[in-house]
Amino acid sequence: MEYALITGASKGIGRAIARELAARGFNVLLIARSADLLQQLAAEIGSRYTVKTDWLALDLSTAEAPQNVYDWCRARGYAVSILVNNAGYGLSGSFEKYTLPEHLNMMQLNMSTLVGMTRLFLPDLHQRPKAYILNIASSAAYQAVPKLTLYAATKAFVLAFSRGLHQELHKTTVSVTCVSPGATDTDFPNRAQLGEKGRKAAEKLNMTPETVATLAIKGMFAGKAEIITGFINKLGAAMAWLLPKSVVERTAMKIYE
C-alpha cells in the first residue's frame, strides 16, 4: 500500500498538506516532534477520510533522523510514493544573536535532513509507477534577507537543489517540485522570534496554510519545477531579479530591524 510522507506535519503548511492529500485519497504518514498533535491529526484524518494513517514523533533536526524515518517505513512495510519535505524553521535578528549550535541546528533541519530524506527514499520512489517529491522553500529564497540571513540562505539552497534534481530526474517516473510560500498564517513568526515590525508586515500579506497547500499539491501533480504562491510573492521575486541587489537587501532588512 502506497503512502504520502509529510515531515513537519503537526502544524501549519505540513498539516494542511496532509489534509489535502488525504482528501485526495492518499494514505498519509505524519512525521514531527509533537506526539500529541500528530495523534490528534491522524485521528482526525482517519475519521474524515477513507485512508490509512500512521505517525512518528521524533526530532528531525538530528543527523540520524532521516535514517530513522526510513528504517521505520521499511520496518512497517510502507511504500512511499509522495515525499513532502516540509519541516523547517527560521531565526530572525542579527546573525551574531545566535550561537553556532543554534545556527547549525537550523541548517541541519532545513537542508541536511531534506537532502538525507530525499537520498534515502529516492531509490524506492523510482520503483513506483509515478512518484513525487515536494520540497518547501520560501519567498526568502530569491534574495539575501539581512536579519534573516542564514534562514534565507538555507531556503536558497532548497530551491537550487530542487530545481537541479527536477532536471536530473525529468526522464524518470519521479517528479520534483519546490514551492516557495511567502507570509503564511503559521507559527513561523514565533519560532523565528520576529520583531513587531516583521509580524505586522507578515500579517498584511498572510495566506492561509490551506491555500498554500492547495497550490503546492496542484503544482506538484502538474509536474512543475517551481511554484511561488501569490501574486505579491511572484512580484517580489521578479523585483529581486530586476533591481540592484543592494536596494532589495536594504529594503528587506528594514522589515526585520
Catalogue the active-site residues.
Answer: 151
In this structure, the dihedral spanned by the alpha carbons of residues 176, 178, 184 and 190, taken in order and rounded to 10 degrees, is: 100
Burial of 97 (0-12, 13-18, 19+ CB in 10 A): exposed
Distance separating alpha carbons of residues 76 and 84, to the nearest angstrom: 19
Distance separating alpha carbons of residues 177 and 170, to the nearest angstrom: 11
The DSSP code for 111 is I
Tell me the one-letter amino acid at 185. D
Which residue reads 545556527 in cell numbers?
Answer: 103
Contact by Cβ (8 Å): 209, 184: yes
3-class secondary-structure state, position 247:
helix
Contact by Cβ (8 Å): 79, 52: no
The β-bridge relationship of strands 131-136 and 79-85 is: parallel
Contact by Cβ (8 Å): 240, 248: yes
Phi, psi of 85 (to 5 degrees): -95, 90
List the beta bridge partners of residue 54. Answer: 29
Closest residue by Cα to residue 84 from 202, 200, 5: 5
